[in-house]
Structures are given as C-alpha cells and as structure tokens.
C-alpha cells in the first residue's frame, strides 16, 4: 500500500460533474458550489458537466450555469441526449426520421448528428428515442409505445428513477422507461449513466486526462464511473447519503465520499487496495456515519 496526503484537485485534471444534486437543485445552486468550482478552475482543473437530464440543450445548461456564477460554454456540457443521438446516428442512415419521446434537448441533439426528429407516428420513423421531457403530451407516449411494440429499435437517454428538486425528489425518465418496457416487453439501449456511451462521449473531449467523476447518486454516477474505469467522488448534497454508501454493492462504491464539492480541496490519504471509500473533510473530522469495508 502507498499513502499520499495531497488533495483531489492535485490528483485529477478533469472533473466530470453531474448537475442535479451536485451543482444545483432546480433553479438554485447547491450552497457553495459555484465558489468551489471556480476555485477548482483556478487550480487548473478542466470542468465538464455531464448530465443524464435530456430535456435541455447544452446551450441552455451552460446559460443556467453562467447565471449561477459558473461561466460555461455549450462545449463544456455533455448530455445523455447527445449520447443517445450519437448511438442512433451510428446505426441509421443520415437524415433518418426518429420518433421523439422527449423535449427540446433531445430534439436538438438529433438534429446535431443529422437525424430528423418527428412526432407523427405516420412519418415512417426508423427508431424511437426517449428522454426526460416534462411537457411531452401523453398521446406521444402512447404513439411511441405502439411503435416500439411493432418492432422499432428504441434508445433511451437514461433510466433515472428520480431527480432532486427544491421541493423534494421527483420522478425521472426511468419511470416512463419502466412503463414502456412493461407494456412492450422491450428493454431499450441506454445512453446515459450508468452505461458507457455518455462517459465515452465526455472522455473523447479530453483524451488522456486524469478524470474524476463527481455525483450524488450511487446507481448512476458512481456505478457508471466504476464501469468506465474512473475514480469517483460521492457528494452528499443530492440523493444518496452515508447509509446508502454503507449498503451499496461493490459495483456502486465510490472512491471518495465528501459532504460537498469542498471535499476536492481536503488532503486525504489514498491507500491503494482499500475497498471502503475514503471519507473527506467534515465527514472524516466528525466521524459521521459508517462505511462498511
């Protein structure tokens, strides 16, 4: 075993950041997150915002982050909608119509890769693509279910069961995926976390970087990082807590656990071969919770 006491921001030069529950909750920033991310940039880290939310375009996400004080360009945002559209573009001819079960983020991602998003089931779609779209009419879900049941291939942006809001947890796109799967008996190809396509899309932008995935969900952010061979930091500002970490299977164990993004700057020994995540900052000093080995 080898020990070192440098901070995470000294070990990693690329931070892959989940958004909901890590950087913001709904329209509001997680307390302290903007200042901590600006500090990370000042220390030389690249920030890449990696989100399973397929409803908004990268431009809209970047604008929201900029309004929160984190100046961000669309190229610094990677969405599950982009990963889903990329999967379909690799399988379908240029310009192919795809039936859209989602919002503007998914529509824009399809156009970006040369596909034609349609909402008319009689427009001869060659596939169905789905993602979070809170304004989507129920009739479109019915039409999509009929198309999937008839044999069209289906790509889902993600399978998140919930997402945090300022008023509490809300049902995510996974609820629709479960409904469609139950009706059709079909399991979709999934682009977002914890599956690889979203991570592959992100890492292509910074080849060779030492990347750390930061998230608030064990079953998506952390499981996805492990599957992609990345170290991870779970922050306790969103969905999962220390009790969830203690009960998590090995496939969902983070490398590090911290109260919030301030954990990036705390010195921490990293003992190679340890099975339990290292607890950082206030968690270590206060001894809160138990993490099983």
Pairing mode, strands 77-79 and 24-25 = unpaired
In the chain, where the domains are located = 8-52+194-286, 82-190
d(CA 212, CA 203): 11
d(CA 131, CA 126): 17
pLDDT in tens, 39-60: 999 999 999 999 998 999 999 9
Are 133 and 55 within 8 A, CB to CB? yes
**Do 8-52+194-286 and 82-190 show the same overall fold?**
yes
Q: State whether CATH 3.30.1200.10 applies to domain 82-190.
A: no
Q: State whether CATH 3.40.50.880 applies to domain 8-52+194-286.
A: no
Quote the tokens at residue 196: 């690889």
Are 263 and 233 within 8 A, CB to CB? yes
Name the nearest CA neighbour of 173 among 186, 152, 156, 189: 156
The segments of the chain whose pLDDT lies below 50 read 1-3, 287-293
**Which residues belong to the active site?**
18, 20
pLDDT for res 254: 96
């Amino acid at each position: 075993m080898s020990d070192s006491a440098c901070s995470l921001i000294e070990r990693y030069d690329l931070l892959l950041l989940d958004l909901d529950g890590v950087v913001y909750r709904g329209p509001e920033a997680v307390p302290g997150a903007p200042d901590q991310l600006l500090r990370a940039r000042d220390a030389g880290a690249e920030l890449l915002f990696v989100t399973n939310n397929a409803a908004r375009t990268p431009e809209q996400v970047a604008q929201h982050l900029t309004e929160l004080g984190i100046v961000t360009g669309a190229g610094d945002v990677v969405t599950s909608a982009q990963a889903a559209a990329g999967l379909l573009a690799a399988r379908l001819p240029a310009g192919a119509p795809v039936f859209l079960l989602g919002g503007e983020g998914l529509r824009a991602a399809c156009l970006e890769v040369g596909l034609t998003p349609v909402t008319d089931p009689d427009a001869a779609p060659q596939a169905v693509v789905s993602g979070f779209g809170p304004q989507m009419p129920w009739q479109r879900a019915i039409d999509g279910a009929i198309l999937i049941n008839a044999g069209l291939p289906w790509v889902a942006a993600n399978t998140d069961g919930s997402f945090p809001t300022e008023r509490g947890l809300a049902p995510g796109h996974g609820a629709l995926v479960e409904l469609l799967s139950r009706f059709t008996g079909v399991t979709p190809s999934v682009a977002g976390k914890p599956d690889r396509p979203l991570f592959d899309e992100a890492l292509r932008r910074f080849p060779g970087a030492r990347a750390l995935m930061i998230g608030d969900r064990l079953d998506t952010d952390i499981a996805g990082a492990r599957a992609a061979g990345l170290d991870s930091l779970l922050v306790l500002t969103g969905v999962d807590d220390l009790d969830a970490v203690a009960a998590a299977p090995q496939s969902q164990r983070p490398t590090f656990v911290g109260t919030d993004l301030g954990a990036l700057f705390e010195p921490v020994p990293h003992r190679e071969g340890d099975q339990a995540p290292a607890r950082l900052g206030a968690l270590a000093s206060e001894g809160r919770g138990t993490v099983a080995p």
